[in-house]
């Protein structure tokens, strides 16, 4: 188990280095480009297989216990350790990251985005995977920061080199926002480590803030929270996200929404909640207020983009929807209750599955029509996917209703539990304030349903393909292979939420209790 977790974290880095080497003659296939793309599929497939084996071998009777741990001294003078481990909170995110990266590599093998050599693309994809997996596996504050920053450079180049219109400006905006937030976060992490005398996240969580004064906790939560909020992203620190999503290639958008945004909310749960509970309690009402503001803002922005005549971009609309969905995650965390935090973790995974599928589908629509402009797609010769590509239209409608939180699909449980958590927040938090936040969040679910159903009506509905019109391809074999796991898991998580909640709940209970349970 220790070896598996180390392989999951470090394996993609080895694969990235190998991707830059010349392919052996017997493995080139029809071209070196095909060989390196196949290399990406193989490496990400091995990492996914290792993650599945780790999940199967995980002791599901003790999900609150750190398992597959490695603890090696790295920088002795600072007491920085290579400390790895996985529990019920991080395991689903590890598997989700490995799955989405593999599906992106598989999709790219058949539909490589336009840009420079595939060698750089595959290497950056693997470095991105390694950094993300490390973020969810490390148990040292310094290592967490290094892993958190490791993903920025590969994502910057994926947007800047393989993106679409406006890619340079979007990439610069992404890197500047996230780097500035990370600088502030580093100060907070160092403050905790210096004042507590250790950077070990397990020891700090067990101490539950008892070794830190309230003033230190407040300052640390403010600093760390800003850095995490930028990555989440929380309104009003979200403005880099729509540009990055709109310009990014399809697989870049899938990984950005499905994986990278989760790093911010994971940091709130893994670091802020257990290590500085008094500081978190101080800022929890403000965090909840920003969260519900993001829910309403994201929904209204999506409604504006979906309205006829506004030249709304479908990729941009899905990006703004992420601001609203991550608002529910932040609201659940702000309640500081097991119900709310479990809802946040469930919504994290559900958002990764559903929004990852949505970006795959929007990318496919854009490839077929040459545009993601809603007015063009809904025009007289527009998409009308039900009649022109019925399978693609059905999948887009499925992903939309999953995103709006239809009961029986993954999107429902996380939002519901976050709202339930706000109904009865943790002791010391104002219940009237959180009841107000709950009501605003519930109204946001109605707005979410409104804009997603409007998108389905405009893009999917319409008559059959007119005679003489050039047909478009329906779902291809490689698309079916890349999207089916996301559809299946969306249904499974919706019908059987206990699979995920059974992992997260004991770990959350222990985390909130300071490791005493």
ω before 482 within 30° of 0 (cis)? no
Q: Considering just the CA atoms, what is the radius of gyration of the chain in Å? A: 22
Tell me the percentage of the chain whose pLDDT exceeds 70. 95
Task: Round the average pLDDT of the chain to a whole number and report it.
Answer: 88
Q: Is the pLDDT of residue 503 over 80?
A: yes
Give ∠ CA 80-83-86 in degrees, rounded to 5.
150
| Residue-wise pLDDT tens digits, 211-247 | 888 999 999 999 999 999 988 888 888 888 888 888 8
Bond into 236 cis (ω within 30):
yes
| 91's tokens | 């395991």
Of 27-36, 125-134, 366-375, 382-391, give the lowest mean pLDDT range. Answer: 27-36
pLDDT at 367: 85
- pLDDT at residue 132, as a whole number: 94
- Both tokens of 447, joined, read 């707005």
Between CA 122 and CA 178 the distance in angstroms is 23
pLDDT digits (tens, 9 = 90+) for 357-406: 999 999 888 888 888 888 877 765 456 777 778 898 899 999 999 998 88
What are 83's strand-pairing partners?
A: 71
Q: What is the pLDDT of residue 466?
A: 57
* pLDDT on residue 1: 79
Q: How confident is the model at residue 309 (pLDDT cuts 50, 70, 90)?
A: confident
Instruction: Kindly report, residue by residue over 421-460, the tens digit of the pLDDT.
Output: 999 998 888 899 999 999 999 999 999 999 999 888 888 8
What pLDDT shows up at residue 515? Answer: 54
Residue 28 has pLDDT above 70, yes or no: no
Is the pLDDT assigned to residue 266 strictly greater than 90?
yes
149-175 per-position pLDDT tens digit: 899 899 999 998 888 888 888 888 889
């Amino acid at each position: 188990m220790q070896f598996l977790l180390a392989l999951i974290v470090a394996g993609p880095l080895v694969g990235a280095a190998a991707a830059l080497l010349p392919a052996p003659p017997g493995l080139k296939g029809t071209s070196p480009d095909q060989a390196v793309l196949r290399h990406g599929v193989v490496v990400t497939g091995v990492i996914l297989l290792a993650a599945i084996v780790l999940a199967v071998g995980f002791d599901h009777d003790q999900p609150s216990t750190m398992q597959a741990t490695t603890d090696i001294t790295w920088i002795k003078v600072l007491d920085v350790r290579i400390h790895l481990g996985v529990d019920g909170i991080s395991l689903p995110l590890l598997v989700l990251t490995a799955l989405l990266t593999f599906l992106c590599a598989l999709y790219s093998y058949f539909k490589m985005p336009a840009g420079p050599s595939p060698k750089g693309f595959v290497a950056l994809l693997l470095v991105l995977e390694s950094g993300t997996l490390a973020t969810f596996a490390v148990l040292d504050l310094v290592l967490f920061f290094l892993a958190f920053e490791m993903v920025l450079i590969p994502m910057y180049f994926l947007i800047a080199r393989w993106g679409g219109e406006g890619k340079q400006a979007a990439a610069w905006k992404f890197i500047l926002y996230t780097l500035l937030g990370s600088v502030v976060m580093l100060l907070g992490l160092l403050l905790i480590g210096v004042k507590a005398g250790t950077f070990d996240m397990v020891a700090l969580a067990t101490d539950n803030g008892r070794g830190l004064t309230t003033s230190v906790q407040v300052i640390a939560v403010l600093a760390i929270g800003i850095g995490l909020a930028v990555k989440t992203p929380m309104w009003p620190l979200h403005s880099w996200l729509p540009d990055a999503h709109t310009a990014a290639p399809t697989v870049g958008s899938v990984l950005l929404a499905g994986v990278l945004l989760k790093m911010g909310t994971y940091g709130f749960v893994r670091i802020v909640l257990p290590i500085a509970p008094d500081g978190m309690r101080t800022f929890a009402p403000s965090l909840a207020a920003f969260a519900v503001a993001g829910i309403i803002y994201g929904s209204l922005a999506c409604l504006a983009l979906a309205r006829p005549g506004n030249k709304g971009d479908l990729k941009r609309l899905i990006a703004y929807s992420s601001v609203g969905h991550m608002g529910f995650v932040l609201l659940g965390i702000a309640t500081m209750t097991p119900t709310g935090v479990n809802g946040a973790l469930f919504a994290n995974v559900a958002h990764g599955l559903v929004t990852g599928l949505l970006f795959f589908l929007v990318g496919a629509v854009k490839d077929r029509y040459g545009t993601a402009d809603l007015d063009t797609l809904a025009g007289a010769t527009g998409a009308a996917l039900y009649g022109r590509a019925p399978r693609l239209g059905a999948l887009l409608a499925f992903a939309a209703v999953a995103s709006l939180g239809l009961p029986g699909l993954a999107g429902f449980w996380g939002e519901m539990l976050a709202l339930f958590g706000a109904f009865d927040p943790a002791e010391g938090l104002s219940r009237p304030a959180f009841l107000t936040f709950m009501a605003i969040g519930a109204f946001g679910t109605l707005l979410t349903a409104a804009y997603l159903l409007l998108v389905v009506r405009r893009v999917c509905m319409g008559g059959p393909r007119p005679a003489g019109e050039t047909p478009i391809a329906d779902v291809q074999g490689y698309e079916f292979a890349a999207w089916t796991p996301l559809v299946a898991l969306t249904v499974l998580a919706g019908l059987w939420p206990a699979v995920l909640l059974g992992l997260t709940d004991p770990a959350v209970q222990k985390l909130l209790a300071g490791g005493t349970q």
